[in-house]
Amino acid sequence: ITSPIAFDILPLKLHPFSQSTPTGLDCVGWKRRISAPVITDGALDKTALPDDVGSEEDLYEDFRSSNHRYGHPGGGGEQLAINELISDGSVVYAEALWDHVTMDDQELGFKAGDVIEVMDATNKEWWWGRILDSEGWFPASFVRLRVNQDEPMEDYPLKVEGGKEDDSRRFGMGQTTKDQMRTNVINEIISTERDYIKHLKDICEGYIKQCRKRADMFTEEQLKTIFGNIEDIYRCQKKFVKALEKKFNKDHPHLSEVGSCFLEYQTEFQIYSEYCNNHPNACMELSRLTKVNKYVYFFEACRLLQKMIDISLDGFLLTPVQKICKYPLQLAELLKYTNPQHRDFKDVEAALNAMKNVARLINERKRRLENIDKIAQWQSSIEDWEGEDVLVRSSELIYSGELAKISHPQAKSQQRMFFLFDHQLVCCKKDLLRRDILYYKSRINMDDMEILDVEDGKDKDFNISVKNAFKLHCRDTEEVHLFCAKKPEQKQRWLKAFENERRQVQLDQETGFSITEVQKKQAMLNASKQHHAGKPKAVTRPYYDFLMRQKHPTLPTTLPQQQVFMLAEPKRKPSNFWQNISRLTPFRK
């Protein structure tokens, strides 16, 4: 490998060769029978593959007669490449993506942004590295290799007292050096994009096309589950790479102006949300099918006929998840080496923020889809439910709590439990004896309501004295609902919650967020089955199994806590769905 960017570790270590990844996905690979070339975003080295692989039928019979089955690969292309460089005397640097805090003296602690010298990458999960005078093990998933391996260490910001960075050396970088660094990043973006297109084409033509020919083995519903909307992604990426190539300056790559391309396609990239949300389902469906030998043989025959690298299908299908994670990191690297005077600077800066927002949106949509199962379970626990399901109009619990509801004409006060979802407020009554049981009473359409703050004292509409009160007023019918909280702070939390509900509805309209009828029906069906079973449904995440089992006698035995299914940011605000409900109304067991 002569170029410092001839190989590439994907930023979140979501690499098909990896046996354990931050997504928790167990990407089972085929046992290696050919030497695996180094790949970049799914690029294939055709020279490492046989020219004549025979017909599909021959391959099918060949694998049937052999005892070929899934197994983990013996090594990863990127680890081989890194260790070859290290053994040749080259220095390999990685940048920390997240903090690694440890109390183990055998592990190497660092902060996000630190530069680590990689000394041994033999193991996939834990690498041995050095920072100044400290050496130790560190999780490979917490770092990414520097795009510019030839960038001198003195050009990196130094940590000084007080935790601040000394940028003096960075600004001392010569313009020629900075232009070369920008050239390296531009070349990486263009080359990985071309490789990614080839990868998507292989999946669509090598697998999907062949699967559709076998109606006896696959239904359209199964294919939708396994491949999601990857064909839509392929069409989108083909247009995107053409736009990139138009902006690519072949003679002087550092002058290329690619930022506008990302801004132009930021909305279209939201199609990755559907794919990422479906990916766990794809893994489970593949896991089920590959328990039958004929599917194992068939998928392997498809791979060989398309002359694809020696990785199983679930490894290939992970690449779109990796790709959308990588854009913010690539753009951050590009911005780092783009002068403020460069014509592309403002567009790259805006593109970086845009792609971060795309990633956040995908994370948020994933969280919302996870919530619909919880909402369905909650509804199934409510007694005497009437009318349409909550999921018909809502997908998010905004707030919940106990309030006194005052009704006309006698101004009678009733203590009720209220659950504020987007578009509606659901009212329930607690059982007199078993306070953990709730009975459905009514609901209010929030789209027609305006919230009125009521001062303490006598209310004219209801002719009673109130404290910590507010009203919901229907604009169409002039109907008024009066509520009282026990404490002033509780009232303020409710008023804030109503603001958040309207903001959430507006955001959903702007971003086009919606839940399909199939997803709603499936969630309610699952909740119904669980309710009739009489016990809570266990959370099953089969793609975490391998991650949690992974141990190594000479390596740290605990896995880093940050290895979770994340698409962009290493940390995410936890959902307060269960806290809001379980704190107030423990579900009936």
**76-145 under CATH 2.60.120.620, yes or no:** no
What are the residue ranges spanned by the domains of the chain?
76-145, 179-371, 396-512
What Å distances lie between residue 506 and 268, 272, 339, 500, CA to CA? Answer: 20, 22, 38, 10
Name the class of domain 179-371. Answer: mainly alpha
pLDDT of 40 strictly over 80: no
Which is it for the CA torsion 334, 337, 339, 340, positive or negative? positive
**pLDDT mean over 380-403:** 93
Three-state DSSP state, 357: helix
Closest among 85, 38, 78, 335 to 185, alpha carbons compared: 335
Q: Classify the phi-psi angles of 191: left when phi > 0, otherwise alpha if psi is within -120 to 50, otherwise beta.
A: alpha
Closest among 505, 80, 30 to 299, alpha carbons compared: 30
Give the global pTM. Answer: 0.56
pLDDT at residue 261, rounded to an integer: 94
pLDDT of 44 strictly over 50: no
- Cβ–Cβ under 8 Å, residues 470 and 451: yes
Biggest CA-to-CA distance, the chain: 90
pLDDT at residue 315, rounded to an integer: 85
Residues 6+ apart with CB under 8 A from 480: 461, 471, 472, 473, 474
* HEC secondary structure over 109-156: CECCCCEEEEEECCCCCEEEEEECCEEEEEEHHHEEECCCCCCCHHHC
Tell me, what DSSP letter sits at residue 41? T
pLDDT at residue 532, rounded to an integer: 61
Closest among 153, 158, 168 to 117, alpha carbons compared: 153
How many whole angstroms separate alpha carbon 128 and alpha carbon 116? Answer: 10
pLDDT-based confidence at residue 248 (cuts at 50, 70, 90): very high
Q: In what order do the strands lie in the sheet with 115-120?
A: 134-139, 126-131, 115-120, 92-96, 143-145
pLDDT of 524 strictly over 70: yes
- Cβ–Cβ under 8 Å, residues 316 and 199: yes
pLDDT at residue 21, rounded to an integer: 33
Question: What is the second-level CATH architecture of the domain 396-512?
Answer: Roll (2.30)
What's the mean per-residue pLDDT of the chain?
75
pLDDT of 111 strictly over 70: yes
Give tens-digit pLDDT for 5-21: 333 333 333 333 333 33
Give tens-digit pLDDT for 324-371: 888 998 899 899 999 999 999 999 999 999 999 888 888 888 888 888
Give tens-digit pLDDT for 284-325: 899 999 999 999 999 999 999 999 888 889 888 988 988 888
Cis ω for the linkage preceding 409 (within 30 of 0): yes
Residue with the larger pLDDT of the pair 157 and 517: 517
Stated as kind and residue range, the H or E segment containing 401 is strand 397-407
pLDDT at residue 439, rounded to an integer: 95
pLDDT at residue 103, rounded to an integer: 63
